[in-house]
């Protein structure tokens, strides 16, 4: 069980930066930095994450007892939690359209509703989670959507955050007690499959989704029939 301690800010550059500074100063597991808006929200690889008022931006400090090499598994803890949170907030008939895109985007009807940025250091993880609640960008590389546009009745952001944290707590407990296998299985149940293009560095790899391996890397079947395992990259469907 994680004891949550929420620190609410009107505005900050990036909640991940705030949480990282706190973690480096020894903040306990369960600290949540929540900002009503970010002025320099970060995506992966230096990309920008738009998080205006009305959307959820938070960063969670975790301190697993396991070795630092396994911290990447918390990217799946976060993705499963975000998926369950979004599923819990949208009308049940939207359920079949809610899916995960490797490694940790939550899509609704093929559009991105949530982004996750996991950063780690010795003894700490910062799981940054952004959920589009009231609005979403229109010109993003990957089409985007938000909870209100997908049929969620208006709700206070606190409700969204509380649900998200209870889902993170649940999946973090499963990870701590049973390891990565049940996360892998649950992730695969929610996965977007089929043909995909993965961009990594200057390279583009095309293939068909096979599964994820026991460490969470993406396994693709290439056109020549061979398999390729990718541990990073941006997936386009
Ligand atoms: C992500 O990066 O998806 C990770 C985003 C993590 C954001 C959270 S918010 C709380 C915490 N504090 C931070 O500073 N960050 C975390 P990536 O896969 O690189 O996607 C970024 C790309 O998505 C951008 O280049 C845009 O094209 C697009 N994008 C930007 N804002 C978006 C939004 N609100 N909704 C959907 N797509 C967006």
Question: With 90 as the cut, is the pLDDT of residue 136 above it?
Answer: yes
pLDDT, tens digit, for every residue of 63-88? 999 999 999 999 999 999 999 999 99
Residue 1 binned pLDDT confidence (cut-offs 50, 70, 90): confident
Side-chain-facing half-sphere of 60: CA atoms under 13 Å: 28
Alpha carbons 228 and 60: distance in angstroms, whole number: 33
Q: Is 14's C-beta closer than 6 angstroms to any atom of ligand 1?
A: yes
Taking all residues of the chain, what is their mean pLDDT, rounded to a whole number?
A: 96
With a 6 Å cutoff on the Cβ, whether 101 touches ligand 1 is: no
Interval 176-212: pLDDT, tens:
999 999 999 999 999 999 999 999 988 999 999 999 9
Ligand 1 atom closest to the Cα of residue 105 is: 3
> How far is residue 92's CA from residue 87's CA, in Å, rounded to a whole number?
7
Atom of ligand 1 nearest to the CA of 234: 18
* Best of 23, 37, 55, 115 for a ligand 1 pocket test (most atoms within 8 Å of beta carbon): 115
Work out which ligand 1 atom sits closest to the CA atom of 51.
Answer: 34
Report pLDDT for 141. Answer: 86
């Amino acid at each position: 069980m994680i004891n949550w301690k929420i620190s609410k800010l009107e505005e900050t550059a990036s909640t991940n930066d705030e949480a990282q500074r706190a973690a480096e100063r020894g903040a306990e597991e369960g600290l949540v930095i929540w900002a009503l808006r970010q002025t320099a929200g970060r995506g992966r690889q230096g990309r920008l994450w738009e998080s205006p008022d009305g959307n959820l931006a938070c960063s969670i400090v975790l301190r697993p007892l396991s070795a630092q090499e396994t911290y990447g598994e918390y990217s799946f803890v976060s993705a499963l939690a975000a998926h369950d949170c979004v599923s819990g907030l949208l009308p049940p008939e939207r359920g079949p359209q809610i899916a995960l895109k490797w490694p940790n985007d939550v899509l609704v009807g093929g559009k991105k509703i949530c982004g996750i940025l996991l950063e780690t250091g010795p003894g700490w993880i910062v799981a940054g989670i952004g959920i589009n609640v009231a609005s979403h960008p229109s010109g993003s590389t990957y089409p985007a959507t938000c909870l209100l546009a997908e049929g969620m009745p208006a709700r206070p952001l606190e409700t969204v955050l509380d649900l998200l944290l209870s889902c993170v707590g649940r999946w973090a407990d499963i990870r701590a007690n049973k390891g990565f296998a049940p996360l892998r299985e649950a992730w695969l149940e929610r996965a977007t499959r089929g043909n995909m293009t993965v961009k990594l560095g200057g390279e583009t790899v095309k293939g068909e989704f096979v599964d994820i391996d026991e460490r969470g890397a993406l396994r693709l079947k290439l056109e020549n029939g061979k398999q390729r395992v990718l541990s990073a990259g941006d997936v386009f469907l």
